[in-house]
Amino acid sequence: MGSHSGLVQLLGKQPCSQEHREFKSRPHRIIFYMLFQDLLNRFKGVWRPFFCTEKIVSEKNNLINIRKTWGSFNVMVSGYFQSGPYVTALWQKMLKRINPNYVAKNVLMLGLGGGDGLKVVLPKFKQAKIVTVEYDPKMVEIAERLIFKTLNYYPEVIIKDAEEALQQLVSSQRKFDVIIVDLFIGPKTSPLLYSNNFIKLLAQTLTPEGYLLVNFFKEEKELSPLFANYFANQELVRYKYNKMRIYRQKD
């Protein structure tokens, strides 16, 4: 003859667990939960402008998440920031390393992301013409909606692979006083940064007295020796999880 619990199981019933008994003995928890859900639904129109998440499907980045919190936007791919307060603070720190008296007439940004870099570059180089390169049209649409309209500034946008764009710029003999390289595929730096041809094109595009700013994230140790073959290393800059370097042209 089986035990009592075995009989209950045979009858298709389960003995109450301690958690189940506690839940049943506290009906106010259920009432509170229902009231809380009702409150959220009633005030959805109020809190949505301050807290919301938007998902955008992209052929290049698969899924892009836009998270709004108190008017601040974070654009994320695979859980990593492509734009937002973190990215803004990162480039603010980098640009402070450039001589404050340096005048840039042309700035090239490789990797637009959600466009937050513009919020830092534009005030720093007020008179400069800014050209951005971004391979994902969906990111350009996001930047136009979140940043360009807010700043009332529309840079020249090249929607193309960064290496192809550089080749095009070299062919047309366009040069830049500041080049910002922020190229990622999710959490990984773009394979282009491992290409000698890509780095050589950067050198050909930078003016003799110009600044090259590169965000290596976690791959600085592997990538910096490659860039040292073409540029004079000026400084290593750290910002939380990111390692960046500032380069100048070799003499």
User: Which pLDDT does position 42 carry in this prediction?
Assistant: 62
User: Which pLDDT does position 27 carry in this prediction?
Assistant: 58
Average pLDDT over residues 213-220: 95
Average pLDDT value over all residues in the chain: 83
Classify domain 80-249 at the CATH class level.
alpha beta
**What percentage of the chain exceeds 70 in pLDDT?**
78
User: Which pLDDT does position 87 carry in this prediction?
Assistant: 85
Average pLDDT over residues 108-133: 93
User: Which pLDDT does position 45 carry in this prediction?
Assistant: 52
The DSSP line for the chain is ---HHHHHHHTT--PPPHHHHHHHT-HHHHHHHHHHHHHHHHTHHHHTTTEEEEEEEETTTEEEEEEEETTEEEEEETTEEEESHHHHHHHHHHHTTS-TT---SEEEEE--TTSTHHHHHHHHTTT-EEEEE-S-HHHHHHHIIIIIHHHT---EEE-S-HHHHHHHHHHTT--EEEEEE--EETTEEPGGGG-HHHHHHHHHHEEEEEEEEEEEET-HHHHHHHHHTTEEEEEEEEETTEEEEEEEE--
Q: Which residue has the tokens 């979140």?
A: 146
Evaluate if residue 83 carries a pLDDT over 80.
no
Confidence of residue 5 (pLDDT cuts 50, 70, 90): very low
User: Which pLDDT does position 74 carry in this prediction?
Assistant: 77
User: Which pLDDT does position 61 carry in this prediction?
Assistant: 77
Residue boundaries of the structural domains of the chain: 4-42, 80-249
Model confidence over 128-175: pLDDT tens digits? Answer: 999 999 999 998 998 898 888 888 999 999 999 999 999 999 999 999
Evaluate if residue 125 carries a pLDDT over 80.
yes
Evaluate if residue 6 carries a pLDDT over 60.
no
Confidence of residue 54 (pLDDT cuts 50, 70, 90): confident
Evaluate if residue 82 carries a pLDDT over 50.
yes
Average pLDDT over residues 35-56: 61
Model confidence over 174-188: pLDDT tens digits? Answer: 999 999 999 988 778
Average pLDDT over residues 47-56: 63
